[in-house]
């Protein structure tokens, strides 16, 4: 590269690649959990001073701008943003061969400053440059947009383009961390270059993030040939004995030397999906400072100084904080959320009644309608001890089941009327997530096990003292102390037990609502224990320490 490299880039020796990254609400190159996690990990890596560079796509048209009409139908539109407002372009253009011509790739640099003062570079790859034809310029337009070929072109930009950019910058990368199979073309390019699969594996780490088949891309070999050319396609074909399809997860598994799932349970499930591979577990975590509401952060500053530099300090919160202060901070977050709901929707929620929140990608396996499976009984419970429900989440434009779910939730909200206030907030994003995970009283999670690989929004809630009410799946299997830091819906072993829908109503009626209304002291004790027992363990800091020690071969100081 001409000129001097920013110091943060010059020292980078570990590259983290993800198709999406959620750093700021307005940098709309993210869709949900995977991207927000990458953002949290980048912040934690900056705090820890790890010599890393994060790479993702600039996707200028964002993911989906969600609006919902009177019938509860989601309408999708592009959600454009301008990288120039958030990042600076590096004075280089890499290029990769895609569909027989050279596609030029620019990289936008955004630097993150960690608590320790060290800076961490994030590079966003962008094909919208003058030298490219219209099709090439569109590759980094819409995140997860278009058809299979479009997706493969995006993955070529991330994997092959990512490597080309790092090479052009002259960085000596000794570990490439692939998140999902999306970047699996990168080690394939390394293999073509070095010819030694063992050496490639030594430098590559792979994290799989979902057991859902749709989350694992497969491309027809003919399409692979057309997009990345014969040389690389031959290399891939050799690895899989001339298979007609290229499975990106299997490609990543074949060319990486250290593989993990994102919770203990998910690692177990992954072992069954891909026998013969050693699968480690690194449970996800969230950036504890980013997700703490200002009112709660204030309280942490007073009770557990040092918590910003190290999440483990939060272990002391439950003995250090007074009940009155905890409740006051919580109510401040709750009122801010309720004000926001009013200004967005005109609905008036009552701060003196319990508020249950549920915000997820709207897709059938997350079962957003589980709470409403027995409406008559639910309304009876609400008559006795009133509560309110806040919902949010986008459906992928092609997810008909997810869209039907949103329509059904609107129908249910309408039919419950004033008996049970249910509000759906359109346009779930990072900013809204921040308000929701701090301002609700209860955070509901009802996936069909074992499909929720980890889940992270519950961790954000936990750190704000918002109590999780969740099916035992993903992280909650590791974190739940039933009746002490939240509640579990159902139990793992007893197949003859009632369904999750009835179990949930039972819990609401007998434990959750009675505790809120009749035993506020116990509720607050649970809030405090939620912070202390879950905050340190499910922090991005802990997760990045695990990756550094186990997968990157990078020592991080204890404490920190
Ligand atoms: C945290 C977060 C998610 C992921 O939450 P899950 O619990 O894993 O579903 C998705 N979207 C946004 C905006 C988030 O902040």
Do residue 192 and residue 337 come from a single domain? no
* Ligand 1 and 531: CB distance under 6 A: no
Do residue 216 and residue 306 come from a single domain? no
Do residue 475 and residue 444 come from a single domain? yes
Strand partners, 105: 94
Do residue 513 and residue 443 come from a single domain? yes
Do residue 227 and residue 301 come from a single domain? no
Do residue 360 and residue 405 come from a single domain? yes
Do residue 267 and residue 363 come from a single domain? no
Do residue 101 and residue 125 come from a single domain? yes
Report how far residue 104's alpha carbon sits from residue 351's, in angstroms, rounded to the nearest whole number.
53
Q: How far is the CA of 366 from the centre of ligand 1 (A)?
A: 12
* Ligand 1 and 36: CB distance under 6 A: yes
Residue 430 CA: which ligand 1 atom is closest?
13
Structure tokens that stand for 164 in this block: 């080309």
What pLDDT, on a 0 to 100 scale, did the predictor assign at position 495? 59
Report how far residue 219's alpha carbon sits from residue 251's, in angstroms, rounded to the nearest whole number.
11
By residue count, the chain amounts to: 560
The region, left, alpha or beta by phi > 0 then psi within -120 to 50, assigned to residue 466 is beta
For residue 303, being part of any structural domain is answered with yes
CB 466 within 8 A of CB 526: no
Do residue 180 and residue 273 come from a single domain? yes
Instruction: Considering only the C-alpha atoms of the chain, give the largest distance between any 2 of them, rounded to a whole number of Å.
Output: 71
For residue 390, being part of any structural domain is answered with yes
Q: How many domains does the chain have?
A: 2
Question: Which residues span the domain enclosing 262?
Answer: 2-66+83-285+543-552
What pLDDT, on a 0 to 100 scale, did the predictor assign at position 106? 98
CB 131 within 8 A of CB 203: no
Q: What residue ranges of the chain have pLDDT lower than 70?
A: 1-3, 492-497, 558-560
* Ligand 1 and 210: CB distance under 6 A: no
Report which protein residue has its CA nearest ligand 1's atom 3.
33
Do residue 111 and residue 211 come from a single domain? yes
* Ligand 1 and 360: CB distance under 6 A: yes
For residue 482, being part of any structural domain is answered with yes
b/e burial code for range 353-364 (CB count within 10 A of at least 16 → b): ebbbbbbbbbbb
Residue 432 CA: which ligand 1 atom is closest?
13
The region, left, alpha or beta by phi > 0 then psi within -120 to 50, assigned to residue 306 is left
* 365 CB-contact burial (10 Å; exposed 0-12 / middle 13-18 / buried 19+): middle
Do residue 276 and residue 340 come from a single domain? no
For residue 528, being part of any structural domain is answered with yes
* Ligand 1 and 72: CB distance under 6 A: no
CATH of the domain at 154: 3.40.50.2000
For residue 78, being part of any structural domain is answered with no
Report which protein residue has its CA nearest ligand 1's atom 1.
457
For residue 527, being part of any structural domain is answered with yes
What pLDDT, on a 0 to 100 scale, did the predictor assign at position 518? 98
* Ligand 1 and 205: CB distance under 6 A: no
What pLDDT, on a 0 to 100 scale, did the predictor assign at position 10? 96
Do residue 241 and residue 338 come from a single domain? no
What pLDDT, on a 0 to 100 scale, did the predictor assign at position 516? 98
* Ligand 1 and 284: CB distance under 6 A: no
At 433-449, the pLDDT tens digits run: 999 999 999 999 999 99
């Amino acid at each position: 590269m001409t000129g001097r490299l920013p110091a943060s880039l010059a020292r980078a020796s570990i590259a983290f690649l993800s198709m999406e990254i959620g750093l700021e609400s307005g940098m709309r190159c993210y869709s949900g959990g995977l991207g927000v996690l990458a953002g949290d990990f980048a912040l934690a890596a900056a705090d820890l001073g790890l010599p890393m560079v994060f790479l993702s796509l600039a996707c200028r048209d964002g993911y989906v701008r969600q609006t919902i009409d009177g019938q509860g139908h989601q309408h999708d539109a592009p959600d454009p943003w301008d990288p120039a407002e958030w990042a600076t372009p590096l004075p280089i253009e890499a290029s990769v061969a895609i569909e027989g011509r050279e596609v030029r790739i620019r990289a936008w640099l955004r630097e993150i400053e960690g608590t320790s003062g060290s800076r961490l570079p994030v590079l966003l790859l962008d094909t919208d440059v003058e030298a490219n034809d219209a099709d090439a310029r569109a590759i980094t337009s819409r995140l997860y947009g278009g058809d299979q070929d479009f997706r493969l072109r995006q993955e070529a930009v991330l994997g092959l383009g990512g490597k080309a950019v790092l090479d052009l910058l002259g960085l000596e990368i000794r570990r490439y961390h692939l998140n999902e199979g999306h970047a699996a073309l990168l080690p394939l390019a390394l293999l073509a270059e070095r010819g030694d699969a063992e050496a490639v594996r030594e430098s590559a780490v792979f994290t799989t993030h979902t057991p859902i088949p749709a989350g694992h891309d497969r491309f027809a070999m003919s399409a692979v040939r057309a997009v990345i050319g014969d040389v690389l396609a031959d290399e891939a074909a050799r690895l899989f004995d001339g298979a007609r399809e290229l499975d990106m997860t299997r490609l990543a598994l074949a060319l990486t030397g250290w593989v993990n799932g994102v919770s203990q349970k998910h690692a177990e499930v992954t072992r069954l999906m891909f026998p013969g591979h050693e699968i480690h577990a690194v449970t996800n975590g969230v950036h504890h400072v980013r997700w703490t509401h200002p009112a709660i952060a204030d309280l942490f500053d007073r009770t557990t100084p040092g918590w910003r530099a190290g999440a483990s300090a939060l272990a002391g919160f439950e003995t250090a904080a007074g009940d009155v202060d905890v409740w006051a901070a919580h109510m401040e977050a709750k009122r801010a959320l309720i004000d926001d709901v009013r200004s967005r929707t005109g609905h008036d929620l009552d701060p003196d009644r319990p508020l249950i929140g549920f915000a997820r990608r709207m897709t059938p396996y997350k079962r957003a309608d589980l709470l409403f499976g027995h409406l008559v009984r639910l309304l009876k419970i609400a008559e006795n001890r009133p509560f309110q429900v806040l919902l949010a989440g986008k459906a992928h434009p092609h997810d008909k089941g997810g869209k039907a779910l949103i329509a059904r939730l609107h129908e249910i909200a309408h039919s419950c009327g004033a008996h049970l206030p249910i509000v759906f907030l359109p346009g779930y994003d990072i900013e809204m997530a921040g308000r929701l995970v701090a301002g609700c009283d209860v955070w509901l999670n009802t996936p069909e096990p074992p499909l929720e690989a980890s889940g992270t929004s519950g961790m954000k809630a936990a750190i704000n003292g918002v109590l999780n009410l969740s099916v035992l799946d993903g992280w909650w299997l590791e974190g739940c102390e039933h009746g002490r830091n939240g509640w579990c819906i159902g139990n793992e072993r007893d197949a003859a037990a009632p369904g999750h829908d009835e179990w949930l109503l039972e819990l609401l009626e007998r434990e959750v609502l009675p505790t809120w209304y009749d035993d506020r002291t116990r509720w607050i004790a649970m809030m405090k224990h939620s912070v202390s027992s879950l905050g340190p363990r499910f922090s991005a800091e802990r997760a990045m320490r695990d990756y550094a020690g186990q997968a990157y071969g990078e020592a991080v100081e204890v404490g920190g």
